[in-house]
């Protein structure tokens, strides 16, 4: 099965107050060192996969440069990443190639570079079309900038554009949110992503909200009920306009669903490079057997599937402590019970540049079953239990019969034959639903 590639570029022009990613403002002097390191990792990808006991596939059908803001790299650095990918991996003819861009960074030179690199999809971090709302969280663009960027992308032959929006920003009201939705639809983009503002200690705004302070306009953040209402309004407006919801946070016209993001939710293999990059590969059982399943790396990982806010639901980022399939690190459990391997790079720039250790987590068949259920439920089409039975066996799925029945009774799931899917209410409470499909077998050390 072809791989998806994710390249993390953790550099920003400014740090947005809501951002909880491993990105920040750094001196441009470090850019070249970072690109050198990422390119070296790409060249060594097959060897790294072997060392991690993962199955390596050279063919690729999706590439995603996320951040941060990849388009603040120098043109030569940006192009070098793509050249290194093409020299070491085989990109299929119809590969989806996405680059995240902050509005206002698409200079003529950058646009020309994207064309040379055969980029065919761009994701714009708009967040709000209301200038005052964007400014309140540290965004540097204005509405007119976004409109101009979209027009120039189309003129350059890149019409597959995504717009990111956030519900629950400071000063946001239903009226201002309706304006952002209307502007998104008026732009004619075929894809939009809507995330509800996260409140956690990993962002400046989140910490201020928790503390009950007023910095970063925290006292103007709508409450959770209002934010949920805004999300539901977006679902209705986009659906009515032909942008169908195909995942909790994502909407697209037919044929424009993000191929790369679908890999995460359907558990297809992918490789991540750079700071805080995550990978999932099929387990190479022969290699684990040859090594005698000896310990390789310590530590615990999480199911941390982040390709720019992929896991934002219910106002929180759903992260799963890996209690179900990590017994303390290393190559154990091993053998036929290991279905796949998850790999994570350091989440600090300094540690990554210093070649800090890679975390490896073996995913057992039980954990793979759980992931298949709760990741699949992110998709609007839901999970076909017939397919799950074919992969994991009837007894494995029967073990969830009571859970599914209870969630259906609570109107968090709906069931049609052998297909289960989230209800609209279930999408708002998706973390609670997902938690019901996770077994905790031991404590994390």
CATH number at residue 115: 3.80.30.20
pLDDT of res. 444: 27
Which residue stretches of 122-199 are H helix? 131-136, 143-155, 174-187
- Work out the mean pLDDT of the chain and round it to a whole number: 86
% of the chain residues with pLDDT over 90: 73
In this predicted structure, the answer to whether residue 3 has a pLDDT above a threshold of 70 is: yes
Structural domain harbouring 321:
1-381
Residue 378 has pLDDT above 80, yes or no: yes
- Whether residue 335 lies inside any domain: the answer is yes
**Is the predicted pLDDT of residue 316 greater than 50, yes or no?**
no
Q: Residue range 291-311: average pLDDT?
A: 36
Q: pLDDT higher for 309 or 260?
A: 260
Tell me which of 204-218, 227-241, 272-286 is least confident. 204-218
Distance CA 301, CA 263 (A): 19
Has residue 312 got a pLDDT over 50?
Answer: no
Calculate the CA dihedral of residues 276, 340, 437, 314 and round it to 10 degrees.
Answer: 20
pLDDT band at 281 (very low <50, low <70, confident <90, very high): very high
**Least confident residue range of 12-16, 248-252, 431-435:** 12-16
Q: What are the pLDDT digits (tens) for 167-181?
A: 999 989 999 999 999
> What is the rounded distance in angstroms from the CA atom of residue 55 to the CA atom of residue 305?
19
Interval 258-285 mean pLDDT: 95
Tell me, what's the pLDDT at 89? 97
Residue 249 has pLDDT above 60, yes or no: yes
Are 168 and 221 spatial neighbours (Cβ–Cβ below 8 Å)? Answer: yes
Q: Which residue has the higher pLDDT, 13 or 193?
A: 193
- Give the whole-angstrom CA distance, residue 172 versus residue 224: 12
pLDDT higher than 90, residue 185: yes
Among 74-78, 178-182, 286-290, 380-384, whose mean pLDDT is lowest?
Answer: 286-290
Does position 303 have pLDDT exceeding 50, yes or no? no
Number of structural domains, the chain? 1
- Quickly state the pLDDT bin for 109 (edges 50, 70, 90): very high
Its pTM stands at 0.87
What is the helix (H) or strand (E) element at residue 233, kind and residue range? helix 224-240
Q: Is the dihedral of CA 174, 180, 186, 188 positive or negative?
A: negative
Any domain includes 232: yes
Q: What percent of the chain clears pLDDT 70, i.e. is strictly above it?
A: 85
- Assess if residue 173 is contained within a domain: yes
In this predicted structure, which of 66-80, 209-223, 314-328, 330-344 has the lowest mean pLDDT? 314-328
The pLDDT score that the predictor gives to residue 35 is 97
Q: Please name which of 256, 233, 57 lies closest in space to residue 163, comparing C-alpha atoms.
A: 256
What confidence score (pLDDT) does residue 207 get? 82
Inform me whether the pLDDT recorded for 315 exceeds 60.
Answer: no
On the question of pLDDT at 208 being above 90, the answer is: no
Backbone angles phi and psi of 61, in degrees to 5: -125, 5
How confident is the model over 388-397, as a mean pLDDT?
A: 94
Report d(CA 314, CA 304) in Å as an integer.
16
Q: What share of the chain is helix, strand, coil (3-state, %, to 5)?
A: 40, 25, 35
Partners of 65 in the β-ladder: 7, 99
- Please list, in sequence order, all residues whose beta carbon lies within 8 angstroms of the beta carbon of residue 148, skipping any fewer than 6 positions away: none
Got the DSSP string for 50-104?
HHTTB----EEEEEEEEES-GGGS-HHHHHHHHHHHHHHSEEEEEEEEEEEE-TT
Instruction: Note whether residue 333 is domain-resident.
Output: yes
Q: Is residue 416 part of a domain?
A: no
Tell me what pLDDT residue 25 has. 64
Specify if 282 maps to a domain: yes
Identify whether 387 is part of a domain.
Answer: no
Residue 174, phi then psi, degrees to nearest 5: -60, -40
**Per-residue confidence (pLDDT) for residue 213, from 0 to 100:** 87
Query: Is position 122 within any domain?
Result: yes
Inform me whether the pLDDT recorded for 290 exceeds 70. no
- Over residues 112-156, the pLDDT tens digits come to 999 999 999 999 999 999 999 999 888 878 999 999 999 999 999
What is the mean predicted confidence (pLDDT) over 276-290? Answer: 78
pLDDT in the model for residue 301: 32
Q: Report the pLDDT value the prediction gives residue 23, as an integer from 0 to 100.
A: 61
- Exposure on the CB side of residue 390, measured as CA atoms within 13 A: 6
């Amino acid at each position: 099965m072809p791989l998806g590639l994710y390249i993390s570029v953790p550099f920003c022009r400014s740090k947005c107050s809501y951002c909880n990613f491993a990105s920040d403002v750094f001196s441009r002097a470090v850019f070249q060192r970072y690109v050198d390191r990422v390119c070296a990792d790409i060249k060594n990808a097959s060897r790294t996969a072997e060392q991690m006991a993962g199955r390596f596939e050279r063919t690729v059908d999706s590439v995603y440069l996320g951040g941060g803001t990849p388009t603040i790299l120098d043109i030569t650095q940006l192009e070098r990443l793509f050249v290194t990918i093409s020299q070491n991996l085989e990109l299929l003819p119809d590969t989806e190639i996405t680059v995240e861009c902050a509005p206002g960074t698409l200079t003529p030179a950058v646009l020309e570079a994207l064309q040379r690199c055969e980029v065919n999809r761009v994701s714009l971090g708009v967040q709000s079309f209301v200038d005052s709302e964007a400014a309140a969280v540290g965004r540097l663009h204005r509405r007119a900038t976004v409109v101009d960027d979209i027009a120039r992308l189309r003129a350059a032959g890149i019409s597959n554009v995504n717009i990111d929006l956030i519900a629950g920003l400071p000063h946001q009201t239903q009226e201002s949110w309706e304006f952002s939705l209307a502007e998104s639809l008026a732009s004619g983009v075929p894809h939009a992503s809507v995330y509800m503002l996260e409140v956690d200690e990993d962002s400046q705004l989140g910490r201020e909200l928790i503390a009950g302070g007023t910095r970063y306009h925290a006292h103007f953040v709508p409450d959770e009920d209002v934010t949920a209402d805004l999300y539901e309004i977006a679902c209705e407006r986009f659906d009515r306009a032909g942008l169908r919801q195909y995942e909790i946070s994502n909407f697209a016209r037919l044929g424009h669903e993000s191929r790369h993001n679908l890999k995460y939710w359907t558990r297809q293999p992918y490789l991540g490079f750079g700071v805080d990059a995550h990978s999932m590969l099929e387990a190479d059982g022969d290699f684990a057997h040859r090594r005698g399943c000896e310990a390789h790396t310590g530590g615990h990982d999480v199911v941390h599937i982040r390709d720019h806010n992929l896991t934002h639901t219910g106002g929180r980022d759903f992260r799963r402590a890996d209690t179900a399939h990590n017994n303390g690190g290393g190559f154990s459990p091993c053998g036929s019970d290991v279905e796949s391997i998850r790999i994570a790079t350091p989440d600090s720039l300094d540690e990554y540049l210093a070649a800090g250790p890679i975390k490896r987590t073996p995913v057992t068949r039980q954990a793979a079953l759980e992931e298949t259920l709760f990741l699949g439920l992110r998709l609007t089409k839901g999970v076909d239990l017939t397919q799950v039975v074919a992969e994991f066996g009837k007894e494995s799925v029967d073990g969830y019969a009571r859970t599914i029945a209870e969630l259906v009774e609570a109107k968090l799931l709906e069931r049609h034959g052998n297909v289960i899917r989230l209800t609209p209410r279930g999408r708002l409470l998706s973390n609670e639903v997902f938690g019901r499909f996770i077994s905790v077998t031991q404590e994390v050390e």
